[in-house]
Amino acid sequence: MVKVLIVDDSAFIRNVLTNMLSSDPDIKVVGIAKNGIEAIEKTAELKPDLVTMDVEMPKMNGIEALKHIMTINPVPVLMVSAVTTEGAKETLDALEIGAVDFIPKNLSDLSFNIVKIKELLIEKIKKIAERGLVLNKINYSPKPLQTPEAKKSTICREIRVVAIGTSTGGPKALYNIISKIPKDFPVPILIAQHMPSAFTGPFAERLNQLSSIDVKEAENGEIIKRGTAYVAPGAGHMGVTGNRMTETSINISADDGKYIYKPSVDLLMLSISANFSGRVLGVILTGLGNDGEKGIRDIKNKGGKVIAESKETCVVYGMPKAIIEAGLADKIVPLDNIAAEIVNSL
With H, G, I as helix, E, B as strand and everything else as coil, classify residue 92: helix
Look up the CATH number of domain 2-131. Answer: 3.40.50.2300
Whole-number pLDDT of residue 178: 97
Q: Is 194 a catalytic residue?
A: yes
The string of pLDDT tens digits covering residues 256-314 is 777 778 899 999 999 999 999 899 999 999 999 999 999 999 999 999 999 999 999 99
Report the alpha-carbon distance of residue 257 to residue 244 in Å, rounded.
30
Measured CA to CA in angstroms, residue 16 lies from 10, 118, 153 at distances of 10, 10, 54
Integer Cα distance of 170 and 29 in angstroms: 26
Active-site residue, selected from the candidate residues 277, 291, 298, 345: 291
Q: Indicate the domain borders of the chain.
A: 2-131, 161-344
Residue 256 confidence (pLDDT): 72
Tell me what pLDDT residue 174 has: 97
Longest Cα–Cα distance in the chain: 62
Phi first, then psi: give them for residue 209, nearest 5 degrees.
Answer: -65, -30
| 62 neighbors 94 (Cβ within 8 angstroms) | yes
pTM score, whole prediction: 0.88
How is domain 161-344 classified at the CATH fold level?
Answer: Rossmann fold (3.40.50)
Answer whether 2-131 and 161-344 agree in fold. yes
- The mean predicted confidence, pLDDT, of the chain is 89
Please report, for residues 76, 142, 158, 173, 331, the alpha-carbon distance to residue 334 in angstroms, rounded to integers and kept in the order given: 20, 19, 24, 10, 10
Sites in the chain below the pLDDT cut of 50: 112, 139-142, 150-156
| 343 vs 75: CA distance, rounded Å | 34
- For residues 265 and 225, the answer to whether their CB atoms sit within 8 Å is no
CA dihedral 95, 97, 98, 104 (to 10 degrees): -30
CB 234 within 8 A of CB 200: yes
Residue tagged active-site, from 167, 179, 264, 273: 167
Q: Of the listed 8, 49, 179, 194, which one is catalytic?
A: 194
pLDDT in tens, 70-94: 999 999 999 988 766 677 888 899 9
